[in-house]
A = this chain, B = another copy of it.
């Protein structure tokens, strides 16, 4: 019969841990003196202590060890733990890749985040424009047309509105563009305007602040980021207009979010 301090040295577990394991019911002292509360252990319990210690070092939680102690199949728990650890490791690899990529970049001007965009009902319209400058005239005209077609239609709150460039490459003219705006209910369609439900999507997001002429850097950055960190691009980027000429005079205050749909 040995006291807790000596047992802690033999088992290489702290006294705190031993008391905690007793409270959790996974390692009870052989005897507890009812008068003094002193705990007494036997050398044979070192076997059990080592088992618990080994499970802890393998990353099992106390609850998992409890389950094992209560007679469950160790193999099953360990298999589950193994699968969990593999997922953790993969996630960690992804983080390492991301940080590594960021450190390669000189300026660290952009900050990529992952977001989940839930399923969204939108009205949508496509056109071909001769110049980027025409976009900011075209978008309101689409909105007016939709409103004329569907008086009383309501946009989602907060607004979610974006354009997609449908050409495979950059071009100065003949730009194929699609506009989407989230609404609360579907409505009538015409040859321009259609309603559809965008599925839930994972996107990479970055914000661009400043005039539109600089936005190419942001596109380059996020495309490169996705490529180098193992994302599969799952659709055209969404350009979301947050602040612009309609509410900020100074172009250097304009704010645009680029969302790049990805899988994985």
A residues whose Cβ falls under 8 Å from a Cβ of B: 2, 6, 9-10, 12, 43-44, 46-47, 50-51, 53-55, 57-59, 74-75, 78-79, 81-82, 85-86, 88-89, 92-93, 95-96, 98-100, 102-103, 108, 111-116, 157-158, 205-207, 209, 242-243, 253, 255, 257
- Please state if A207 and B47 are interface contacts (CB–CB under 8 Å): yes
Nearest CB in chain B: distance from A128 CB, A: 30
- Please state if B99 and A50 are interface contacts (CB–CB under 8 Å): no
CB < 8 Å: which of B59, B253, B257 contacts A44? B253
In the complex, which of the residues A50, A51, A115 has the most CB atoms of chain B within 10 Å of its own CB atom? A50
- Please state if A78 and B50 are interface contacts (CB–CB under 8 Å): no
CB < 8 Å: which of B2, B50, B103, B111 contacts A50? B111
- Smallest CB gap from A114: residue in B: B57
**A51 to B207 Cα, complex, angstroms:** 9
* Chain B residues with CB below 8 A from A54, complex form: 111-113
Decide: A209 near B47, CB < 8 A? Known: A12-B113, A57-B114. Answer: yes
- Smallest CB gap from A240: residue in B: B10
**A85 to B46 Cα, complex, angstroms:** 34
- Smallest CB gap from A203: residue in B: B12
- Please state if A111 and B158 are interface contacts (CB–CB under 8 Å): no
Decide: A242 near B43, CB < 8 A? Known: A53-B113, A78-B99. Answer: yes
* Chain B residues with CB below 8 A from A12, complex form: 113, 115-116, 205
**A92 to B92 Cα, complex, angstroms:** 9
CB < 8 Å: which of B57, B85, B89, B206 contacts A113? B57
**A115 to B92 Cα, complex, angstroms:** 27
- Please state if A103 and B89 are interface contacts (CB–CB under 8 Å): no
CB < 8 Å: which of B51, B96, B108 contacts A85? B96
- Please state if B100 and A96 are interface contacts (CB–CB under 8 Å): no
In the complex, which of the residues A54, A79, A114, A257 has the most CB atoms of chain B within 10 Å of its own CB atom? A54
- Please state if A100 and B113 are interface contacts (CB–CB under 8 Å): no
**A254 to B44 Cα, complex, angstroms:** 8
